[in-house]
């Protein structure tokens, strides 16, 4: 019995060293987590019996030196604390709020087991020569292996997670992604295996909240523009239907790499979208897994330049068997590390701007527009060249600290989610400038988040009359005298041009309304036509937008970017200007 207990104890030490060193989302790792629980529970009774016999009544009879006795006693205390914290972790899990408990468990068990093993080795009667050698060997592995693994992970990071641009860019879109023979051409997206990804993988966002892990984040995302990126967005839906009718189905895949991964990556976008408009996949938008399953960022050239991976444990997570599914959910809480490694890569934290560049930087080429290479919108390069990034050599405005996309568009907000850090999570509402979606979707919280964001000195207005600032109580104007009014618009909290994105489709303008002391309207520019305020905007208003022409000189007014041939008007404000 003693030998079996010692063997189980040494196996548990090796098992613990492996779990501490790695956190891989593999069945082998999951098996070791279960083994850790099983061995830990099994060894509680033998440990208690052993302590009672050897460290209670007969400790002094076994050993001569008081120092050795002290080692044994301290070891028992450490292991006891480890057992208590381990049992508690089995109940509450090791998610971020209980990280301190996991650290306490690791430190107490590590110290306790080390001292207890030294006690065993110094007590001649407790171990045979062979068992002493085995114990020393196991101790050496348990100490050296985790140290080596952690040092290697720190100083030899996985280069797959580094974002690197090629020495030379592709000469055309035909060389991007999987090429013309790829499933998703002309989008640049690729899957890790080159195969399609099952649709169900992108339909599990609600489960991220249902498990009680990320309810706040899910609720934020559920009303965001990222959720409504696909055919649950009425404007995008009309654009793609029109594109497929006029330009063909294949070119529309170029859009799908960023807007419709749920139907592009399972092959459904090979058919007319009208056939699948109301399927769950077409309404999924950018699901949690669409961003968090990205395995690699290929470069910062955009156009969905990423590689996505179907996680090896997803079949277990989505199992129809409730026992298997609940066991998976329990293990995520007990040891979140494999889940983190599957869905939170280093670039999600360290290279956030480069991560955003995959879809917020666009170009078109012959496979899409039957023309040539044309630059689309480009938020990433605008940010990188600005002072906001602290990388723009030509910028005269440098804020005190550099900012990235997430600093503005994913600020920290209060949350009790399991993934919270100090009571905060990154806001997955992605507040920006789109007020149309939350308005038509009747999402008042999202509309408020966007409105508050826009009114937080992102863009400011300064009014001057005859060269002097207009005070809050107005300015006196003399009858029959011309008065010059200047409106100065500044981008004070924008890391790219304002506006940005598909600005040919946006309505952004200045509205200037002047009334006298009796409230009578004297001047009004930029008004929306009466009587109900839903008519067209005053055509003489000062707009911030672009006008583009197609090959026939017609104005592009159906978001048909593929028809772009030239830009005749482009009015935006650079960052910090």
3-class SS string, 301-368: CCCCCEEECCCCCHHHHCCCCHHHHHHHHHHHHHCCHHHHHHHCCHHHHHCHHHHHHCCCEEEECHHH
Given a cut of 70, the residues of the chain with pLDDT beneath it are 1, 54-69, 124-126, 531
- Distances, alpha carbon 527 to alpha carbons 461, 516, 533, in Å: 17, 17, 8
* Integer Cα distance of 210 and 95 in angstroms: 16
CA-CA distances (angstroms) from residue 152 to 149, 295, 496? 5, 20, 38
Instruction: Please tell me the distance from the alpha carbon of residue 231 to that of residue 254, in angstroms, as a whole number.
Output: 15
Would residue 519 count as lying in a domain?
no
Q: Which two tokens stand for residue 122?
A: 């110094």
Same domain, 261 and 298: yes
Are 224 and 149 contained in the same domain? no
Which of 125, 155, 185 is a domain's end point? 155
Question: For residue 326, is it left (φ>0), alpha (ψ between -120 and 50) or beta?
Answer: alpha
Q: What is the pLDDT of residue 346?
A: 93
Residue 230 lies in a domain: yes
Domain annotation covers residue 510:
no
- In terms of domains, do 25 and 133 share one? yes
Give me the number of domains the chain comprises: 2
**Residue 1: its pLDDT value, please?**
66
pLDDT, position 12: 93
Q: What is the pLDDT of residue 130?
A: 85
Q: Are residues 200 and 315 in the same domain?
A: yes
User: Is residue 311 situated within a structural domain?
Assistant: yes
Residues 62, 146 within the same domain: yes
113 & 220 share domain: no
Question: Is 37 part of any domain?
Answer: yes
Q: Tally Cβ neighbours within 10 Å of residue 294.
A: 20
pLDDT in tens, 548-575: 999 999 999 888 999 999 999 999 998 8
Task: Using DSSP, state whether 534 is helix, strand or coil.
Answer: coil
Tens of pLDDT, residues 53-85: 765 555 555 544 556 667 778 888 999 999 999
Does one domain contain both 151 and 180? no
Task: Kindly report the number of other CB atoms within 10 A of residue 499's CB atom.
Answer: 22
Enumerate long-range contacts of 23-31, CB under 8 Å, 24 or more apart: 23/335, 23/337, 23/338, 23/340, 23/341, 24/338, 24/341, 25/311, 25/312, 25/313, 25/338, 25/339, 25/341, 25/342, 26/312, 26/313, 26/338, 27/312, 27/313, 29/338, 30/313, 30/331, 30/338
Residue 228 corresponds to which tokens in the numbers above?
Answer: 């409504």
Same domain, 221 and 147: no
- Give the residue from 378, 406, 437 where a domain finishes: 378
Q: What is the pLDDT of residue 271?
A: 93
DSSP state of 192: S
CA distance 204 to 317: 10
- What is the per-residue pLDDT across 145-165, written as a single tens digit (0 to 9) for each? 999 999 998 888 888 889 999
**Domain span including residue 44:** 3-155
Distance CA 182, CA 209 (A): 34
Distance CA 228, CA 438 (A): 10
Same domain as 149, residue 13: yes
Give yes or no: residues 303 and 336 share one domain: yes
Tracing tokens 């940005």 back to the chain, one arrives at: 500
140 membership: H or E segment, kind and range: helix 129-155
Closest CA to 209 of 450, 425, 440: 425
- Specify whether 150 is located in the same domain as 14: yes
Residue 297: DSSP 8-state: E
Q: What's the Cα-to-Cα distance from 341 to each of 213, 347, 550, rounded to whole Å?
A: 16, 12, 46
HSE-CB of 335 using CA atoms within 13 angstroms: 24
Residues 74, 185, single domain; the answer is no
The domain boundary residue, chosen from 378, 393, 426: 378
Question: Which residue shows structure tokens 């007590």?
Answer: 123
Q: Taking the chain, what is the end-to-end CA distance rounded to the nearest angstrom?
A: 78
Confirm whether 555 is domain-assigned: no
DSSP 97: G
In whole angstroms, what is the distance from residue 138 CA to residue 14 CA? 7
- At 68 the pLDDT is 62
Residues pairing with 537 in the sheet: 528
């Amino acid at each position: 019995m003693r030998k079996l207990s010692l063997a189980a104890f040494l196996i548990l030490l090796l098992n613990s060293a492996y779990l501490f060193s790695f956190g891989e989302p593999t069945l082998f790792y999951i098996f070791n987590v279960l083994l850790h629980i099983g061995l830990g529970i099994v060894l509680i009774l033998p440990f208690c019996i052993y302590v009672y016999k050897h460290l209670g009544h007969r400790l002094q009879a076994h050993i001569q030196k008081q120092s050795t006795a002290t080692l044994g006693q301290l070891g028992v205390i450490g292991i006891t604390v480890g057992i208590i914290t381990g049992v508690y972790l089995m109940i509450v899990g090791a998610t971020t709020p209980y990280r301190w408990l996991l650290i306490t468990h690791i430190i107490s068990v590590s110290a306790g087991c080390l001292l207890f093993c030294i006690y065993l080795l110094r007590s001649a009667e407790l171990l045979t020569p062979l068992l002493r050698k085995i114990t020393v060997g196991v101790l050496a592995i348990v100490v050296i292996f985790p140290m080596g693994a952690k040092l290697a992970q720190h100083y030899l990071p996985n280069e797959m997670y580094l974002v690197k641009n090629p020495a030379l860019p592709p000469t055309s879109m035909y060389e991007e992604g999987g090429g013309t023979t790829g499933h998703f051409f002309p989008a640049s997206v690729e899957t890790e295996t080159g195969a399609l990804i099952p649709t169900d993988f992108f339909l599990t966002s609600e489960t991220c909240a249902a498990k009680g892990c990320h309810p706040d984040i899910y609720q934020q995302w559920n009303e965001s523009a990222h959720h409504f990126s696909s055919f649950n967005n009425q404007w995008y839906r009309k654009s793609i239907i029109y594109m497929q009718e006029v330009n063909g189905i294949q070119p529309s895949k170029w859009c799908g790499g960023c807007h419709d991964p749920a139907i592009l990556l399972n092959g459904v976008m090979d058919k007319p979208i009208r056939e699948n408009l109301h399927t769950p996949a077409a309404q999924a938008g950018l699901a949690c897994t669409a961003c968090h399953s990205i395995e690699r960022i290929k470069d910062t050239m955009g156009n969905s330049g990423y590689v996505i991976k179907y996680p090896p444990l997803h079949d277990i997570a989505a199992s129809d068997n409730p026992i298997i599914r609940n066991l998976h959910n329990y293990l995520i809480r007990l040891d979140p590390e494999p889940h983190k490694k599957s869905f939170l890569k280093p670039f999600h934290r360290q290279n956030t701007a480069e991560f955003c560049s995959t879809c917020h930087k666009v170009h078109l080429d012959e496979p899409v527009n039957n023309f040539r290479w044309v630059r689309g919108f480009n938020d990433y390069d605008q940010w990188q060249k600005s002072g906001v990034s602290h990388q723009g050599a030509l910028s005269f405005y440098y804020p005190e600290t550099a900012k990235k996309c997430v600093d503005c568009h994913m600020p920290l907000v209060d949350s009790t989610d399991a993934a919270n850090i100090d009571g905060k999570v990154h806001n997955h509402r992605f507040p920006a400038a789109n007020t149309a979606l939350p308005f038509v979707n009747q999402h008042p919280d999202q509309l408020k988040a966007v409105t508050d964001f826009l009114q937080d000195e992102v863009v400011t207005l300064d009014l001057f009359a005859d060269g002097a600032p207009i005070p809050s109580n107005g300015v006196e104007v003399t009858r029959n005298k011309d008065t010059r009014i200047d409106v100065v618009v500044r981008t004070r909290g924008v890391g790219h041009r304002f506006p940005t994105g598909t600005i040919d489709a946006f309505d952004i303008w200045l509205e200037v309304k002047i009334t006298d002391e009796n409230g009578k309207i004297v001047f009004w520019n930029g008004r929306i036509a009466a009587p109900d305020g839903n008519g067209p905007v005053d055509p003489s208003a000062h707009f911030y937008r672009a006008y583009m022409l197609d090959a026939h000189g017609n104005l592009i007014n159906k978001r048909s970017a593929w028809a772009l041939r030239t830009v005749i008007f482009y009015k935006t404000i650079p960052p910090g200007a």
